[in-house]
Amino acid sequence: MTKIRYIGILVSLCITVSLAAAKEEEGATSLAAVSPEGFGTSVSSEMSAGETAIESPEELQSTPLEESDETPDLSQLQPEELSIEEQAKNLQYDIPMPWGHELFEKYRQYYLSDGGRKILLATMERAAPFMDYIQSKVTEYGVPQELAYLPVIESAFSPFAVSRSGATGIWQFMRNSISGYGMTVTDWVDDRRDFMKSTDAALNKLVDNYNDVKDWPLAIAAYNAGLGALRRAVNAMGGDTDFWNIYDKGLVSKQALDYVPKFLAVASILRYPDLYGLKLPSSSIKWEAIPLDRQIDIKLLAAKAEIPLDTLKLGNAELHYTITPPEDAHLLKIPADKTEEVKAILSDPNTPLVHYEIYRVKEGDTLTAISKHYGVSISMIVKVNAGLNPDRLKIGQKLMIPLSLQPLNPPSNSAGGGAGSVQTSTYTIQKGDTLYSLARRYGTTAQKLANLNGIYMNSILRIGQKLKVPAAP
């Protein structure tokens, strides 16, 4: 008999693959019994006794593998591609996603629409300077990775964001909720806008919430509605700490109930952006925090260190003015790749980093009156005039008055252009008012106020006099 070699390849999604090979022996060939479904030849399922389960090898229309010139096409045998939703459900999340929850799914549908995707991409563009720091802190604190995206629905990652209720910064802290979290609000700074301090504070607050209620969705709801409200809801549920049970009962405000599924919908997408074809910008800046031993005007530093001023404003958004506080402990955030250059500039005492005006003391002057005239604190004047005795000014004595008190982020309608382009209101001069103090109050400069009113910088202001000032936002 002619030597014949038979090889069968059985591919299926639901059954096992079997292989039978013919032994090459002179005079006889045997074939092991194999389930017929694996071959192309059909076999009747209705067989009488004594019939064989498969046709004889000579009648099979198969080609030995080693004699085939073509690669077998197994595309029909591949499993159907999973939908994006099915793939998403198979991914790993630190906070379980409420798949099938009506509001969660509606938010996902919205943020995956063309308009929603544009919003996410624009928001993550704003997030790029902060994400490296935020994600590193999320890892350091050992909290769910999804929490890095909470600012998407809090502030759209704007450090200058202020809500109607006064919540401020990337993480939207109220002024009365910062106690114990390492933030302060002074005449010089608002730490709620400091992306480093507020990130640490927010993660600490979320950890505190979780340690209290033992459930991340509940802890997130408490970040929005307050821990007290969620404690009361848990008590009303007899100690049940499952947020979704509280959701079903409607035991907290609708805003808090909507907040959690909205956040989780956003986080479920941004955690795996590639799945949805979202190309997010990479973290654009690595920051270094440098302690200062003197006041500086970041405008001057930006020019000397060749750092874009907008970059320094973004990293130091906590400043009310472009000048840093008089205290030595302030931390200045700069791009890490400029660290050595900035340190060299700061270490040179001959490098002027604050704008000054020289004031010559006249008869009757007091330091209090001078400080009010320029809208600068007495302590600030004393600090930059070494050896100055506030109680013993001498006629003709020269004082250096720091004038770098321009707003860091002036309102869009501040007096920045010609008088015709500015929305104004009227202010009546009170005792002690000066152009400098009014400029500080209205977020502009003394020179712009003078221009707006057609007066000179040294013009005398009279009590009761009417001045144009930038209208309140």
Same domain, 244 and 392: no
The structure tokens listed for 46 are 């209705």
Domain contains 70: yes
The structure tokens listed for 244 are 């979704």
Same domain, 112 and 199: yes
| DSSP 8-state class, residue 61 | -
Same domain, 37 and 103: no
Helix axes 254-270, 216-225, angle to 10 degrees: 120
Domain contains 317: yes
The structure tokens listed for 270 are 């941004």
Q: Residue 428: its pLDDT value, please?
A: 92
Contact in structure between 182 and 201 (CB atoms under 8 Å): yes
Domain end position, chosen among 55, 80, 105: 80
Residue 167 has pLDDT above 90, yes or no: yes
Residue 186 has pLDDT above 70, yes or no: yes
Residue 90 has pLDDT above 70, yes or no: yes
154 noted as active-site residue: yes
Residue 376 has pLDDT above 80, yes or no: no
Rg for the chain (alpha carbons), in Å? 36
Residue 263 has pLDDT above 60, yes or no: yes
Same domain, 156 and 226: yes
Sign of CA dihedral 94, 100, 103, 107: positive
Q: Considering the chain, what is the average pLDDT of its residues?
A: 81
The structure tokens listed for 291 are 């302690």
Q: Residue 423: its pLDDT value, please?
A: 76
Residue 64 has pLDDT above 80, yes or no: no
**39 pLDDT tier (thresholds 50, 70, 90):** very low
Q: How far apart are CA 176 and CA 157, in angstroms?
A: 21
Q: Residue 89: its pLDDT value, please?
A: 96
CA distances in angstroms from 59 to 40, 54, 62, listed in the order given: 12, 10, 9
- Its domain, for residue 40, covers 1-80
Same domain, 341 and 259: no
Domain contains 192: yes
Domain end position, chosen among 80, 98, 117: 80
Same domain, 207 and 101: yes
User: What share of the chain in percent tops pLDDT 70?
Assistant: 78
**188 pLDDT tier (thresholds 50, 70, 90):** confident
Same domain, 176 and 112: yes
Domain contains 412: no
Amino acid type, 35: S
Residue 69 has pLDDT above 70, yes or no: no
Q: Residue 95: its pLDDT value, please?
A: 98
| Count of domains for the chain | 5
Same domain, 105 and 133: yes
Domain CATH for 240? 1.10.530.10
Q: Residue 404: its pLDDT value, please?
A: 63
Q: Residue 373: its pLDDT value, please?
A: 80
Domain contains 408: no
Domain CATH for 389? 3.10.350.10
First and final C-alpha spacing in the chain: 100
CA distances in angstroms from 156 to 119, 261, 283, 446, 473, listed in the order given: 9, 17, 16, 33, 20
Q: How far apart are CA 417 and CA 430, in angstroms?
A: 26
Same domain, 239 and 299: no
Domain contains 428: yes
Same domain, 391 and 364: yes
CA distances in angstroms from 29 to 24, 58, 391, listed in the order given: 7, 11, 119
Residue 279 has pLDDT above 80, yes or no: yes
Q: How far apart are CA 369 and CA 391, in angstroms?
A: 12
Q: List the one residue out of 29, 36, 41, 34 whose CA is nearest residue 5.
A: 29
Given 59, 125, 154, 306, which residue is catalytic?
154
Sequence-distant contacts of 306-315: CB under 8 A, at least 24 apart: 307/334, 307/335, 307/338, 307/342, 311/129, 311/285, 311/335, 313/408, 313/409, 314/129, 314/159, 315/129, 315/195, 315/285, 315/287
pTM for the full predicted model: 0.69
Tell which wins on pLDDT, 453 or 198: 198
Summarize pLDDT for 126-136 with one digit per residue, the tens: 999 999 999 99
Tell which wins on pLDDT, 206 or 443: 206
Tell which wins on pLDDT, 351 or 268: 268
Contact in structure between 317 and 190 (CB atoms under 8 Å): no
